[in-house]
Structure 1
Amino acid sequence: MAADDAPVRSETKIAFDTKIAVLLRDDLETWQRLNVTAFLVSGLGTAVPEVIGEPYEDADSTGYLPMLRQPVLVFEGAKETLTSAHTKALSRSLVTAVFTSDLFGTGNDRDNRAAVRAVGRDALDLVGLAVYGPRNAVDKVLKGARMHP
């Protein structure tokens, strides 16, 4: 490989003033954790398009979809931690996505939305929550949660 074919590596870390975080209830099965995380982050780019990076391309010019431009940090906590985080996120007007236990029994977006709509905000049985916003505000929302192992 010629010197000018070598991969370009940046020596400068990119620091973000925002944070994307997912908070999962600590009693979920592994498949549920993965499913909930995927669903929660899926809506972020539609609500906040600037979190989406540029499309990817390999050395053969094969194109791939763009992804989130910054890491997603995953946390876990007890049911009470999710309830508290939900209240704090809404009070700070952070971009928020929710996943309730009822959604494990549905099979499509229409039924998911109906299941959430059927329950009042303070009675939602939250199993997952995604938040996006200024780093310090997200940190305050996640107080009491721990990094997912």
Structure 2
Amino acid sequence: MTFPTKIAVLLRADLAVWQRLNVTAFVVSGIAGTAPELLGADYADADGTRYLPMLGQPVLVFEGDADTLTAAHGRAVDRGVACAIFTEELFKTGNDEDNRAAVRAVPRAELRLAGLAVHGPKNAVDKILKGARLHG
């Protein structure tokens, strides 16, 4: 199936495995939370047990160095493509209020990005992620 849009996560390549997983979960929740039309229907097993819906299209995960993340973030902002971000400081906080305060305390040009997620037209997302490589 072909989708007109792309969901992509870009992670900083030097993160520990637990950090990569944590960042991915957080930034993808930002996409799902602001684009509920991307969610499919509830799941159910053969016994009728219901499960929560998931995104109805693939999420591609990329990696790059800090400069690649900074450039991608700038391109997303310049193109008006909304993105979810996770900064280095968020590894030290423990709740949503502190997370938002940590991001709010840093000017955009000084954000120490650990990861981001974008959703938009395929060609726009491809241009935003220029220089990143698929996560291996």
**TM-score, normalisation: structure 1:** 0.90
Q: Using CA pairs below 8 Å that are at least 6 residues apart, which structure has the higher relative contact order?
A: 2
Residue 36 of structure 1, aligned match among 23, 26, 39: 23
Distance 1:95 1:51 in 2: 15
Residue identity matched to 2:28: V
Higher CA-based Rg? 1
**TM-score, normalisation: structure 2:** 0.98
Aligned to 1:3: none
The alignment status of 1:82 with 2:69, answered yes or no, reads yes
* Structure 2 unmatched runs, 5+: none
* Structure 1 unmatched runs, 5+: 1-13
In the TM superposition, what whole-angstrom CA distance separates every residue of 1:105-135 from its partner, at most 9, and x where no partner exists? 0011110000000001111000101000000
In the TM superposition, what whole-angstrom CA distance separates every residue of 1:3-42 from its partner, at most 9, and x where no partner exists? xxxxxxxxxxx11010000000011001100000001101
Distance 2:37 2:4 in 1: 13
The alignment status of 1:128 with 2:115, answered yes or no, reads yes
Runs of 4+ in structure 1 displaced over 3 angstroms?
A: none
Structural RMSD (CA): 0.6
Counterpart of 1:102 in 2: which secondary structure? helix
Aligned-pair distance for 1:49? 1.2
Aligned to 2:124: 137
Residue 54 of structure 1, aligned match among 35, 41, 45: 41
Deviates more, 1:40-49 or 1:113-122: 40-49
